[in-house]
């Protein structure tokens, strides 16, 4: 089997990790003139980490003789890629790849850069590790050499702490997050991991996140793989937020004042993406569901689990209602929202609120049509089963929307479902419904319309305010 043995040697400068030596033994097919590996010169706005003068990228045979490489740069989705093609075929299909990277001060979101802060370093493999062209699966064996770190230091990646193994494809190293620090604080509960440096206030957020993961993973019948949250502290951060990848989330905060209840919903949202996913090509086709369902269940599951108070729930609902109902772009089509991804922040946010408030409506409609026997959970689970089996046809995303219409339409009526969906696609705005939050033993949540003001235009609009119903009402 193809195998990559990777050793990362972080170096401590008394305050943080100032360099990391990377050494890889590649047991892969290596042929002259054929692409062997590639690095991402740029990922969105983040360059590949700086290389130390004494540690450029070097490929050698196991005896240390250099294998010269030619490189080719090409533009890819959201970045630039440099492809390395060996110019000779080594005697054995084995080579050693070495270089040393220098982290820079921890940067803003997207938190892909290899960024250092007092205590340690965090980042995505995208900005300091290669991807491989080898076909078939590759066994990765990762070892942390902590000989240049203080005692008590440790290192981790998405798939666990310390030395570990993982089987994957050529992209496994670049679609993982990494951290090393002294000390690297960690909360572990089952397959859940949460890492941070130095701030004792993060312990509480880690415990909340562990409770949410435990509840969500049971609800979605998770298969028990590790899920990791990595924490970065940096200055460029208006709201806490981060970047998700396979089974992991790296997030950023600026100050202790940001460590409030809204983090529970942030982590709950990111975790939901582990289990709810649909093909979304072109972007925008299924974003209403992918992000809308993450919004829906990130409110509902912590509420069902009793992890958030009624006040925390309604405060978060109010934040999301203002974000959506006062968004000047809320009537854009799904396609227009997809095209505006990252170029216009307000338009980028629309599918989140649109999906959330439409799914609150759909949940209520399912409950009404089924006399309370069913809820959105049933349609969501059936859609998950179909997504796992895969969607066929020219456009898997259109097929996914069709599957939603069929499953939801089977309960509320197909004509009604189609009519609603066309309205959704072209920017209709639904009033909030709150049936999803009616739980035995919990106070009821209600929504009343209030005068709102569109952001940017200043025009008046209808917004909504959620409150907890008290006993006297």
Q: In the complex, which residues of this chain contact Zn ion (CB under 5 A)?
A: 291, 294
Taking the C-alpha atoms of residue 215 and residue 212, their distance in angstroms, rounded to an integer, is 5
Nearer to Zn ion, 43 or 348 (CB): 348
Pairs from 195-202 (Cβ < 8 Å, separation ≥ 24): 195/156, 195/228, 195/229, 195/230, 195/231, 196/230, 196/231, 197/117, 197/118, 197/119, 197/120, 197/231, 197/233, 198/118, 198/119, 198/233, 199/233, 199/256, 201/256, 201/259, 202/231, 202/259
Residue showing tokens 């959704």: 424
Question: Which helix or strand (DSSP H or E) is residue 441 part of?
Answer: none
Contacts 24+ apart (CB under 8 A), 242-246: 242/109, 242/111, 242/270, 243/109, 243/110, 243/111, 243/112, 243/124, 244/270, 244/273, 245/124, 245/158, 245/175, 245/176, 245/177, 246/158, 246/175, 246/176
Q: How far is the CB of 116 from Zn ion (least distance, A)?
A: 27
Provide, rounded to whole angstroms, the least separation between the CB of residue 272 and Zn ion.
8
Task: Output 294 or 356, the one with its CB closest to Zn ion.
Answer: 294
Q: Can you tell me the distance from the alpha carbon of 306 to that of 112, in angstroms, rounded to the nearest whole number? A: 34
Two structure tokens written together for 429? 């705005």
What does the alpha-carbon distance between residue 16 and residue 149 come to, in Å, rounded to a whole number?
A: 9
Least separation in angstroms between CB 268 and Zn ion: 11
Q: Which residue reads 């699966």 in tokens?
A: 137
The least distance separating Zn ion from the CB of residue 273, rounded to whole angstroms, comes to 6
Rounded to a whole number of angstroms, the minimum distance from the CB of residue 394 to Zn ion is: 26
Give the residue with the Cβ less far from Zn ion, 208 or 291. Answer: 291
Rounded to the nearest whole angstrom, what is the least distance from the CB of residue 298 to Zn ion in the complex? Answer: 9
110 exposure class (CB count in 10 Å sphere: 0-12, 13-18, 19+):
buried
Give 66's strand partners.
60
Q: Which is nearer to Zn ion, 109 or 116 (CB)?
A: 109
Q: Please identify, using beta-carbon distances, which residue of 122 and 348 lies nearer to Zn ion.
A: 348
Taking the complex as a whole, how short is the minimal distance between the CB of residue 354 and Zn ion, in angstroms? 13
Own/partner pairs, 159-167, CB within 8 angstroms, 24+ separation: 159/226, 159/228, 159/247, 160/193, 160/226, 161/186, 161/193, 165/139, 165/140, 165/141, 166/139, 166/140, 166/142, 167/137, 167/138, 167/139, 167/140
Query: How far apart are CB 159 and Zn ion at their closest, in Å?
Result: 22
**Closer by beta carbon to Zn ion, 296 or else 408:** 296
Q: Which is nearer to Zn ion, 37 or 267 (CB)?
A: 267
Shortest Cβ 299–Zn ion spacing (Å): 13
Phi, psi of 322 (to 5 degrees): -65, -40
In the numeric block, which tokens belong to residue 216? 């969500």
Nearer to Zn ion, 2 or 348 (CB): 348
Closer Cβ to Zn ion, 153 or 294, answer by number: 294
Beta carbon of residue 56, minimum distance to Zn ion (angstroms, whole number): 38
Size (the chain), residues = 473
**CB-nearest residue to Zn ion:** 294
The CB-of-244 to Zn ion minimum distance in angstroms stands at: 7
Report the C-alpha dihedral over residues 220, 223, 226, 232, rounded to 10 degrees: -20
How does DSSP classify residue 257?
A: G
User: Which of 161/295 has CB closer to Zn ion?
Assistant: 295
- Cis peptide bond N-terminal to 183, omega within 30: yes
Classify 149 as helix, strand or coil. Answer: coil
Indicate the residue among 57 and 294 with the shorter CB distance to Zn ion: 294
CB of 274 to Zn ion, least distance (A): 11
| Residue among 195 and 297 whose Cβ is closer to Zn ion | 297
């Amino acid at each position: 089997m193809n195998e990559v043995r990777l050793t990362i040697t972080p170096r401590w400068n008394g305050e943080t990790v100032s360099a990391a030596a990377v050494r890889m033994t590649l047991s892969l097919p290596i042929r002259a003139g054929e692409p062997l590996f590639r690095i991402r010169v740029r990922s969105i706005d983040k360059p590949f980490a700086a290389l130390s003068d004494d540690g450029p990228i070097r490929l050698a045979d196991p005896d240390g003789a250099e294998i010269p490489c030619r490189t080719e740069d090409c533009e890819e989705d959201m970045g630039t890629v440099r492809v390395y093609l060996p110019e000779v075929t080594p005697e054995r299909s084995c080579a050693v790849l070495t270089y040393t990277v220098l982290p820079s001060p921890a940067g803003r979101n997207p938190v892909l850069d290899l960024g250092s802060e007092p205590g340690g370093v965090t980042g995505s493999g995208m900005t300091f590790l290669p991807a491989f062209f080898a076909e078939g699966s590759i066994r990765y064996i990762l070892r942390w050499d902590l000989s240049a770190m203080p005692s008590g230091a440790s290192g981790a990646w998405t798939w666990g702490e310390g030395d570990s193994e993982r089987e994957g494809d050529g992209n496994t190293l670049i679609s993982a997050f990494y951290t090393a620090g002294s000390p690297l604080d960690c909360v572990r509960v089952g397959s859940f991991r949460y890492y941070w440096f130095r701030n004792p206030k993060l312990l509480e957020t880690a415990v909340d996140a562990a409770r949410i993961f435990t509840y969500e993973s049971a609800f979605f019948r998770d298969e028990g793989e590790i899920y990791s949250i990595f924490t970065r502290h940096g200055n460029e951060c208006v709201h806490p937020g981060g970047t998700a990848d396979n089974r992991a989330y790296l997030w950023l905060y600026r100050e202790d004042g940001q460590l409030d209840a809204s983090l529970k919903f942030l982590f709950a949202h990111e975790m939901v993406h582990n289990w709810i996913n649909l093909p979304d090509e072109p972007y925008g086709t299924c974003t209403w569901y992918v992000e809308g369902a993450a919004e829906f269940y990130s409110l509902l599951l912590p509420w069902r689990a009793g992890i958030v108070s009624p006040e925390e729930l309604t405060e978060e609902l109010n934040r999301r209602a203002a974000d959506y109902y006062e968004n000047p772009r809320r009537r854009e089509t799904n396609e227009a929202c997809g095209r505006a991804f990252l170029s216009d922040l307000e338009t980028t946010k629309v599918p989140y609120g649109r999906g959330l408030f439409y799914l609150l409506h759909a949940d209520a409609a399912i409950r009404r049509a089924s006399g309370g026997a069913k809820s959105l959970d049933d349609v969501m689970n059936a859609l998950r089963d179909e997504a796992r089996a895969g969607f066929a046809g020219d456009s898997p995303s259109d097929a996914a929307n069709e599957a939603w219409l069929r499953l939801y339409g089977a309960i509320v009526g197909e004509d009604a479902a189609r009519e609603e969906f066309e309205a959704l696609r072209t920017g209709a705005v639904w009033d909030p419904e709150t049936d999803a939050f009616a739980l035995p033993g919990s106070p009821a949540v209600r929504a009343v319309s209030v005068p709102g003001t569109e952001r940017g235009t200043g025009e008046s609009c209808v917004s909504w305010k959620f409150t907890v119903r008290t006993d006297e009402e």
